[in-house]
A and B are shown apart, each in its own frame.
Chain A
Amino acid sequence: MSDRPIIRVQHIVKSFGSVMAVNDVSFDVRAGEIFAFLGPNGAGKTTTIKMLTTLLHPTTGSLELDGLDVTTHQTEVRRRFGVVFQDPSLDGDLTAWENMDIHGVLYHVPRQTRRERCEVLLRMFELWERRDDFVKTFSGGMKRRLEIARGLLHTPKVLFLDEPTLGLDPQSRNQMWTHVQSLRASEGVTVFLTTHYMDEADRVADRIAVIDHGRLVATGSSAELKQQTGTDSLEAAFLKLTGTTIRDESATATDQLRQVTRVWRR
């Protein structure tokens, strides 16, 4: 691992009207590590990912990815990361191959390289035999794997995974993390992920940051967090750091639609 952080976040604030979604958050992610971003619902995880992936601008503060300012060097930064959003972003009416191919064109991957990378990645994620099938016929786990494969097509330096195992069965979740862990060896990519499942973070993450109410409450390895809180599991450490109150997110129109699509996609 090199010394220079691949992601550097300094004092970022994001407010929506009077709501402070992210409030003075700073952290570094080292090149080649698996970094987990944990927090209860509405803590500011997705907002942070959206800022890091250029979809939202921070109100104040600075964000750097691979030494580039995320706000001012949008296009260069976009070439350097791949992202798997919380909601699926595949086109179900196209085949797995076509979804990959469009991505390659959007990221200016030359035709020959595109074909080779598509094959390597589809094989790696065990989707090669299904490459000519429509994505709408895929299971949740297969879709997620395809999205990760797609996100890696343009050989990014950082891969963002926003709750990649949400709604998957334990088998698929297990398989997903095996894949993610092997990525570091095969692709040398830095992984920035968010999840609700503490056991998963415990298993795969080198370092963990815990965010709550828009503020960073702790950073460190799983062992450090346990030590810091005097607990013996990451789950207990997490609850100690963030409390046991249940957070009610106000349901937006998007959330409602999201629920509808989840029902219909099953």
Chain B
Amino acid sequence: MSVVYILWLREVKKYLRSRVQIVASLGGPLMYLGVLGFGLGPVFQRAGEGSYLQFVAPGVIGMTVLFTAMFSGIAMLWDRQFGFLKETLVAPVPRLAIMIGRTLGGATVAVLQGTLIFVVTLIAGFRPVSLLAVPLAFLVIALIAVIFSALATAIGSGLKEMQGFQMVMNFLVMPTFFLSGAIYPLEGLPRVLGALTRVDPLTYGVDGMRGLLTGRTHFGVALDVVVLLGVGVLFVVFGAWRFSKIEA
């Protein structure tokens, strides 16, 4: 347990110390919130869908959690060849404890960053329909964080080169975001796109959050949470298995 705790603490400490990075990583979400939120607002309104800011805010929170969780996991690439990972791999502790500590650390960082963006959306004018639902929304945020932190651990365990990082960003993280329904409604999509959105775990995360915070949901919050839990367990097991295979 103390091993899991100290590795978790390490991730959180490093995050809290990287003030520049925290501010820098607000840039992307702010742009989506500001430019899309206000830019697409009038069109969205005219289409009879209500406030686009209300719609997109949970999506932007989901995006932040996705990006942060994936980043912290992929950062293992640095740890792996030139740093700290080897130190943990020769220690007399089970690999599983190391993996859980790192993954929970990455997930916690993602939740913290998500919270920050949540506050920013509130400042921008986002209004959750019920304050009671906010803690539940955070449960969904935590699930998203764990899912992608575990996935990142799984991918990071196999990555050996910096170029691989670009691959992951372009072929996994960006599609996950764009296919999640974070920035457009899931109703009435072309069939192929509709099918793709359904295999994206983030879709259920964003839908669950949106359901809880704005009352608008496509699948129903219960189904969203069930899917997230299932995928979460699957990815953690997958991540642990991949991590156990690392050769130093």
Interface of A with B (CB < 8 Å)? 50, 53-56, 74-76, 78-79, 83, 85, 87-94, 98, 101-103, 105-108, 253-254, 257-258, 261
B contact patch SS: helix
Establish whether residues A55 and B90, one from each chain, have CB atoms under 8 Å apart when the complex forms: yes
A50, A89, A107, A254: the one contacting B92 at CB < 8 Å is: A107
B91 within 8 A of A: yes
B248 within 8 A of A: yes
B187 within 8 A of A: no
Which bucket holds chain B's interface residue count?
A: 20 to 34
Establish whether residues B87 and A253, one from each chain, have CB atoms under 8 Å apart when the complex forms: no
User: Beyond A78-B91, A106-B93, is A88–B10 a contact (Cβ under 8 Å)?
Assistant: no
Establish whether residues B91 and A106, one from each chain, have CB atoms under 8 Å apart when the complex forms: yes
Chain A residue with Cβ nearest B15: A93
Chain B residue with Cβ nearest A91: B84
Establish whether residues A89 and B3, one from each chain, have CB atoms under 8 Å apart when the complex forms: no
Q: Which of B234-248 contact A (CB under 8 A)?
A: 247-248
B7, B10, B13, B81: the one contacting A257 at CB < 8 Å is: B81
Cβ of B40 to closest chain A Cβ, rounded Å = 39
Establish whether residues A87 and B82, one from each chain, have CB atoms under 8 Å apart when the complex forms: yes
Establish whether residues A78 and B83, one from each chain, have CB atoms under 8 Å apart when the complex forms: no
| A261 partner residues in chain B, CB cutoff 8 A | 82
Establish whether residues B83 and A106, one from each chain, have CB atoms under 8 Å apart when the complex forms: no
Establish whether residues B13 and A94, one from each chain, have CB atoms under 8 Å apart when the complex forms: yes
| A90 partner residues in chain B, CB cutoff 8 A | 83-84, 87
Cβ of A266 to closest chain B Cβ, rounded Å = 14
Cβ of B116 to closest chain A Cβ, rounded Å = 20
Establish whether residues B14 and A93, one from each chain, have CB atoms under 8 Å apart when the complex forms: yes
Cβ of B166 to closest chain A Cβ, rounded Å = 14
Q: Which of B184-212 contact A (CB under 8 A)?
A: none
Residue pairs across A and B with Cβ atoms less than 8 A apart, 17 shown, are A53-B90, A74-B92, A83-B90, A87-B81, A88-B82, A89-B86, A91-B10, A93-B14, A102-B7, A105-B6, A106-B3, A106-B87, A106-B88, A106-B91, A107-B91, A253-B160, A258-B81
Cα distance, A90 to B79, chains bound together (Å): 9
B2 within 8 A of A: yes
| A53 partner residues in chain B, CB cutoff 8 A | 90
Cα distance, A257 to B2, chains bound together (Å): 33
Among A74, A101, A102: residue with most chain B CB under 10 A: A102
Interface of B with A (CB < 8 Å)? 2-3, 6-7, 10, 13-14, 17-18, 79, 81-93, 160-162, 247-248
A76, A88, A102: the one contacting B83 at CB < 8 Å is: A88
- Closest CB pairs A-B (n = 4): A106-B91, A78-B92, A55-B248, A105-B6
Cα distance, A222 to B123, chains bound together (Å): 73
Establish whether residues A105 and B2, one from each chain, have CB atoms under 8 Å apart when the complex forms: yes
Chain A residue with Cβ nearest B86: A89
Cα distance, A101 to B10, chains bound together (Å): 11
| A87 partner residues in chain B, CB cutoff 8 A | 81-83, 86
| B7 partner residues in chain A, CB cutoff 8 A | 102
Cα distance, A101 to B6, chains bound together (Å): 9
Chain A residue with Cβ nearest B78: A261
| A94 partner residues in chain B, CB cutoff 8 A | 10, 13-14
Chain A residue with Cβ nearest B13: A94
Given contacts A78-B90, A94-B13, 20 further A-B contacts (CB under 8 A): A50-B248, A56-B248, A75-B92, A78-B91, A87-B86, A88-B82, A89-B85, A91-B79, A91-B83, A92-B83, A93-B17, A98-B13, A101-B6, A102-B10, A105-B3, A108-B92, A257-B82, A257-B161, A258-B82, A261-B82
Establish whether residues B81 and A254, one from each chain, have CB atoms under 8 Å apart when the complex forms: yes
Chain A residue with Cβ nearest B17: A93
Cβ of A132 to closest chain B Cβ, rounded Å = 13
Cβ of B243 to closest chain A Cβ, rounded Å = 15
Cα distance, A56 to B246, chains bound together (Å): 11
Cα distance, A105 to B97, chains bound together (Å): 12
| A254 partner residues in chain B, CB cutoff 8 A | 81, 160
A74, A79, A103: the one contacting B87 at CB < 8 Å is: A103
Cβ of B2 to closest chain A Cβ, rounded Å = 5
| B92 partner residues in chain A, CB cutoff 8 A | 74-76, 78-79, 106-108
| A55 partner residues in chain B, CB cutoff 8 A | 86, 89-90, 247-248
Establish whether residues B86 and A85, one from each chain, have CB atoms under 8 Å apart when the complex forms: yes
Cα distance, A87 to B248, chains bound together (Å): 12
| A98 partner residues in chain B, CB cutoff 8 A | 10, 13
Establish whether residues B84 and A106, one from each chain, have CB atoms under 8 Å apart when the complex forms: no
| B248 partner residues in chain A, CB cutoff 8 A | 50, 55-56
Chain B residue with Cβ nearest A55: B248
Chain A residue with Cβ nearest B97: A106
